[in-house]
Amino acid sequence: MIYAIAVFAPLFGSLIAGLLGPFIGDRAAQAAAIIGMVIAAICGPLALFMLVAFDTAPSGVVSLGTWIDVGRFHVDWALRYDALSATMVGMVSFVAMLIHVYSVGYMGHEHRPKYRFFAYLSLFTFSMLMLVTADNLLQLFFGWEGVGLCSYLLIGYWYDRPSACAAAIKAMIVNRIGDLAFAVGIALVFFKFNSIEFPSIFASIGLHQADTYDLFGTSFPAFEVIGFLLFIGAMGKSAQIGLHVWLPDAMEGPTPVSALIHAATMVTAGVFLMARMSPLMEFAPTALAFVTIIGGTTALFAATIGCTQTDIKRVIAYSTCSQLGYMFVAAGVGAYQVSIFHLITHAFFKALLFLSAGSVIHAMSDEQDMRRMGGIWRKIPITYTVMWAGSLALAGIFPFAGYYSKDAILEAAYAAGGVGYYGWICGVLAAFLTAFYSWRLLIMTFHGAPRADKHVMAHVHESPLVMTGPLMVLAVGALVAGFLLKPDFIGEYWPEYWGLSIFNGPDNHVLHAMEELPGWVGLLPLLVGLAGIAMAYWWYMFQPGIPAAMAARFPAVYRFLLNKWYFDELYNWLFVQPAIKLARGLWQVGDAGIIDGMPNGVASLAADGSRQAVKLQTGSLALYAFVMLIGVVALLTIFLMFG
Amino acid sequence: MEAAAMNWTVAVPEIALALCAMAILIFGVLRRQDATFLCTMLSLGALLLTGVLVIGGQTGAGFGGQFTADAFSAFVKLLILSGSAFALLLSLDYNEREGLARFEYPVLVLLATTGMMVMASATNLMTLYLGLELQSLALYVLAAFARDTLRSSEAGLKYFVLGALASGLLLYGISLAYGFSGTMDFAQIARILASPAHASAGLVVGLVFILAGLAFKVSAVPFHMWTPDVYEGAPTPVTALFGTAPKVAAMALILRVMIGPFGHLLPHWQLLIVLVSIASMLLGSLAAIGQNNIKRLMAYSSIGHMGYALIGLAAGTHAGVRGVLVYLVVYVFMNLGTFACIIAMRRQGRQVENISDLAGLARTDPGLALAMAAFMFSMAGIPPLSGFFGKLYVFLAAVQAGLWTLAVIGVLTSVVGAYYYLRVVKIMYFDEAQPAFDKRGASLSFVAASTGLFTLLFFIFPAPFVGAAEAAARVLFG
């Protein structure tokens, strides 16, 4: 019951804010949305607590009724109540509540009606909760598409900015590619299992292990195909390399949106999906190896780009991309618990970083370019402090949250061996770069000589309590989440904590193997992190000439990174331009030529016919009589031949 | 029908109308001057009287089965009488202004109407011919009534020559039918044809000739050639008459002949009617596109409308005949209204006939433009105007009878037709305004308004018309 309230309270908040917003005014709409979120943020963690602390609340399913019942295809509306879902509900509702509160302050200067913003935000939260509590793939897909829709609406929230509209459309389209694979994967699950309900899928995994799927005359193991398809869906939502291009552009939305959707919750849906489908993924080793490779590559690739970007939000966006790569590395080596652990800690410190960035942007009169910041750390001390906390967590410095979770991922990757080594190498390199760009960001933003103009500098001010409050709460989370959660999530109690919600195959001992690694493996990430920090200080604080010199020395590398590995240009050339050409062709040939052409042709045919039809009408009496006689003869002939 | 009884009382309306016509003729001759208005009024009275007699008249067969008064004939006769009466009303103003005010005009209309009524009641090939010729001879004269204008005399002559040819075809067909069946009585022919063995080649050839003769009267393709020339040349009120009452009479006759005596040959003649119908719809819609003269436009329009009406006959069912009759009702009134508007097109004492003369009518004469627009929309078959229902019933019958091709072609040609009807509306409402028309007579306004109301409001009370058509159609199917 509490669980259901946690899921549906945001929906009611959203409906009230969205539908009644124009009538009850902005303040009431905000209040409704926030009340809904507060209720959810109380009930969500409470439900989790009841599940793990007492055995009184049995894990199971909260059934809400039948959705679709056609032939063998049966889908219920139901909330799955197990450790994995409850953990996600607790995190999502809590973080979303903080971000709602923060938004009140951040959107304070917005001159347009704000109820729309809060309605979308709450609707997003509801969709996300539906996603994580789904008891079948279709409901999961419902939430999946719901968060995608809200993401689109919120990225394009400032709909009068062409760049925001373009970014919103880009997010929608890129996600469609992943979603298509996901939908096909769901269909294939139904095809093989005759059901898309998790309990019946997981119960009959053993029966279908030898199943194959025939495509183009080749047989593939069915689980591998499903695993690949689901992961491609996850790649779209979680912005993995190849389908990552929408995430940096999504920063066009208001900053709380970036924090909630594009850092803390929605983009982690792919990671959640891997954990949720772990009973199936465990039997798709090739797909899992692919997950590891993509994850490792993304972690490193996004980190390299993060080092050259100058937009404060884009830097954090690429870091999100990179951290999601870490999570997939963990999922790929079978350490789903570790990936969820990092997902949770990341939610805290990444939301914190984004919201702090928002606070900076707020202070700097909507300036987002770090090259026009600097020298403001004394003026906004709270923001500065919490940003440090977030950065320490991100860089994985003891005892912040990231230290525990990132460390665990790298250990798991190393312990898994094989393709895990690739993930481990990428991860370690990325850890160095992460620390480097985090401090690059800190130093460029807060230190050095002020580079903004005087008006802006004069207005720099600390954000109100409604914004700094959530920041401080999140900062505490970024500090303590790691060592508080570790014992339960991946430490000694993990089998009891996760129960049956996450499945590890009989040969999967990665979580045990992690414990028996040589000491340097655990220490290395911390060391490279510190090295990264040191290098950032050296390059940006003590010898500020170096970055420019390096850029001049290696222009090709610099441009390659600055232009984000030319992914956008490649896609533009490979897909967008051909699509535009195709569309233009369909328009000019198909629409204007054929679809318009046919009626036009018929019309001119009619006009021609008209000219022909009146040709006989010469006024000649003899001709008229002749036509009549011919007519009689023709009719007679027809009558006698066919009649 | 064996009864040889005279039973002449069934023909009382026709007899009364003929007597009235002669009386009015004598009155006009004696009066010599200023007789026209009075004669016209008397003629209207005579038409009204005849209408009353039709409504209250006896039903049954008379003259030894040559003449029958039944629900079908009553329905058709009332429609003919209203058509003639309105056409007569339209002539009042026009003839006065064109210097055609002669008392013979209403008399000729009465005589033609008498002929049409005989056609509607004919149950014998001879009666059929009698009525047809009585009607035709009067109409030939009417077409050439403006004898001093070249166009009118030309129209009269063309109509006469081609009409004579059509009569010849008809007579030849009648003689073939008589020769191969031994009877002229509809019921007898039907009885003979009931057994397929008797459907000799001579008889069916005769049927085709009879059909050709009648098709000429409704100006169905390929016997339509006279229509545009005669419509354009004849004085406009005469054109209005041509477009209505005679078409009704001839169509009724076709219905009675094809369903009655030759009903058993339906599978044989159905294809002919389908072809004639398709050809008429196609020509009617296509040829009208290029027209500038509104009377010629109406000529092609009427060819197309007859094509639509024939769809109902092609179906050969009770519903089809009902559809034809409803179509005729709708058609007569919207046609009369359109001609009322056309006759109102008079500028500086001269009749103008080009479509472009209507330009900007919406600003110079909004009432007339509105009426004309209503008629045009109705002709195009746009709901809820009456024209839509006319088409609806015949298309419905065609679909029920499985004649999908016919229905589809009908719909497609309606689309083409909509173009030139809507073009008139566009010219009236969106084009640069022309100088205003002369003040029109009250009779024109009356006709335009009453037929306009009928066209607009038909959808509210279609039941009595459809019901009467239903009853009339039932007669033919015995």
Whether residue B3 is predicted with pLDDT greater than 70 in this model: the reply is no
What mean pLDDT, rounded, does chain B reach?
A: 92
> Are B271 and A639 an interchain contact pair (Cβ–Cβ within 8 Å)?
yes
CA A528/CA A522 separation, integer angstroms: 11
Residue of chain A with shortest Cα separation from B210: A632
Over the Cα atoms of chain A, what is R_g? 30
List own/partner pairs for B402-410 with CB under 8 A and 24 or more apart: B403/B274, B403/B311, B403/B314, B403/B315, B405/B274, B406/B274, B406/B277, B406/B278, B406/B311, B406/B314, B407/B311, B409/B278, B409/B281, B409/B282, B410/B281, B410/B307, B410/B308, B410/B311
Chain B residues within 8 angstroms (CB to CB) of chain A: 157-158, 161-162, 165-166, 169, 201, 204-205, 207-209, 211-212, 216, 221-223, 225-226, 228-229, 267-269, 271-272, 275-276, 282-283, 285-291, 416, 419
Report strand pairing: B346-347 vs A73-81: unpaired
**For residue A136, what is the DSSP state?**
B
Whether residue A66 is predicted with pLDDT greater than 90 in this model: the reply is no
> Are B419 and A606 an interchain contact pair (Cβ–Cβ within 8 Å)?
yes
What is the per-residue pLDDT for A298? 94
Q: What is the pLDDT of residues A411-461, one digit of tens each?
A: 999 998 889 999 999 999 999 999 999 999 999 999 888 888 888 888 888
Whether residue B260 is predicted with pLDDT greater than 70 in this model: the reply is yes
> What is the band of A562 on the pLDDT scale with cuts at 50, 70, 90?
confident
How far is A605 from chain B, CA to nearest CA, in Å? 10
Whether residue B105 is predicted with pLDDT greater than 90 in this model: the reply is yes
CA B335/CA B246 separation, integer angstroms: 13
Rounded to 5 degrees, φ, ψ at A617 are -80, 70
> What is the band of B51 on the pLDDT scale with cuts at 50, 70, 90?
very high
The reply to whether A595 touches chain B by the CB within 8 Å rule is no
Which of A284, A369, A299 has its CA nearest to residue A330?
A: A299
Query: Which residue in A605, A629, A635, A638 has the most chain B C-beta atoms within 10 A of its own C-beta, making it the best mutation to test that interface?
Result: A635
> Are A621 and B161 an interchain contact pair (Cβ–Cβ within 8 Å)?
yes
* Alpha-carbon torsion, ordered A437, A442, A447, A450, to 10 deg: 90
> Are A624 and B158 an interchain contact pair (Cβ–Cβ within 8 Å)?
yes
Q: Give chain B positions within 8 Å (CB) of A622.
A: none
**Residues 6 or more apart in contact with residue B189 via CB below 8 angstroms:** B177, B181, B183, B261, B262
Of A610, A628, A642, the CB nearest to B271: A642
What mean pLDDT, rounded, does chain A reach?
A: 89
The domain containing residue B24 runs over which residues?
Answer: 2-476
Work out the average pLDDT over A375-401. Answer: 91
**For residue A309, what is the DSSP state?**
-
CA A57/CA A52 separation, integer angstroms: 9
Query: Which residue in B226, B286, B291, B292 has the most chain A C-beta atoms within 10 A of its own C-beta, making it the best mutation to test that interface?
Result: B286
Exposed/middle/buried for residue B73 (C-beta within 10 Å: 0-12, 13-18, 19+): buried
Q: What is the pLDDT of residues B315-353, one digit of tens each?
A: 999 999 999 999 999 999 999 999 999 999 999 888 899
> Are A642 and B288 an interchain contact pair (Cβ–Cβ within 8 Å)?
no
What is the per-residue pLDDT for A641? 84
How far is B223 from chain A, CA to nearest CA, in Å? 5
What is the per-residue pLDDT for B363? 92
How far is A3 from chain B, CA to nearest CA, in Å? 57
Within 611-630 of A, beta carbons closer than 8 Å to B belong to 611-614, 616-617, 619, 621, 623-625, 627-630
Q: Give chain A positions within 8 Å (CB) of B258.
A: none
Q: Give chain A positions within 8 Å (CB) of B201.
A: 640
Q: How far is CA B125 from CA B18, B162, B249, B253, B476, in A?
A: 21, 21, 15, 10, 16
Whether residue B274 is predicted with pLDDT greater than 90 in this model: the reply is yes
Lowest average pLDDT, out of A35-49, A267-281, A597-611, B178-192, goes to A597-611
Exposed/middle/buried for residue A590 (C-beta within 10 Å: 0-12, 13-18, 19+): middle
> What is the band of B1 on the pLDDT scale with cuts at 50, 70, 90?
very low
CA B214/CA B227 separation, integer angstroms: 14
Q: How far is CA A620 from CA A615, B224, B225, B464, in A?
A: 12, 14, 10, 45
Residue of chain A with shortest Cα separation from B274: A635
> Are B208 and A639 an interchain contact pair (Cβ–Cβ within 8 Å)?
yes
Q: What is the pLDDT of residues A353-374, one digit of tens each?
A: 999 999 999 888 888 888 888 8
How far is A599 from chain B, CA to nearest CA, in Å? 11
> Are A624 and B226 an interchain contact pair (Cβ–Cβ within 8 Å)?
yes
Residue of chain B with shortest Cα separation from A635: B272
Whether residue B399 is predicted with pLDDT greater than 50 in this model: the reply is yes
Q: What is the domain count for chain B?
A: 1
Q: Give chain A positions within 8 Å (CB) of B269.
A: 639, 643
Lowest average pLDDT, out of A130-139, A289-298, A592-601, B428-437, goes to A592-601
Q: Give chain B positions within 8 Å (CB) of A629.
A: 165
Q: What is the pLDDT of residues A275-320, one digit of tens each?
A: 999 999 999 999 999 999 999 999 999 999 998 888 999 999 999 9
What is the per-residue pLDDT for A57? 54
Residue of chain B with shortest Cα separation from A638: B272
How far is B255 from chain A, CA to nearest CA, in Å? 18
Lowest average pLDDT, out of A191-205, A498-512, A519-533, goes to A498-512
Of B205, B221, B283, the CB nearest to A636: B205
Work out the average pLDDT over A598-611. Answer: 84
The reply to whether A642 touches chain B by the CB within 8 Å rule is yes
Q: Give chain B positions within 8 Å (CB) of A624.
A: 158, 162, 225-226
Residue B255 contacts residue B120 (beta carbons within 8 Å): no
- Interface pTM, i.e. ipTM: 0.89
CA A281/CA A384 separation, integer angstroms: 42
Lowest average pLDDT, out of A343-347, A482-486, B215-219, goes to A482-486
Whether residue A581 is predicted with pLDDT greater than 60 in this model: the reply is yes
Residue of chain A with shortest Cα separation from B151: A619
How far is B203 from chain A, CA to nearest CA, in Å? 12
> Are A628 and B225 an interchain contact pair (Cβ–Cβ within 8 Å)?
yes
DSSP assignment of A59-88 equals -EEEEEEEEEEETTEEEEEEEEESHHHHHH
> A519-536 and A401-416 are packed helices; what angle lies between their axes, rounded to 10 degrees?
130
Work out the average pLDDT over B171-178. Answer: 93
> Are A631 and B222 an interchain contact pair (Cβ–Cβ within 8 Å)?
yes
Work out the average pLDDT over B381-402. Answer: 93
> Are B209 and A643 an interchain contact pair (Cβ–Cβ within 8 Å)?
no
How far is A131 from chain B, CA to nearest CA, in Å? 51
> Are A628 and B211 an interchain contact pair (Cβ–Cβ within 8 Å)?
no
> Are B275 and A638 an interchain contact pair (Cβ–Cβ within 8 Å)?
yes
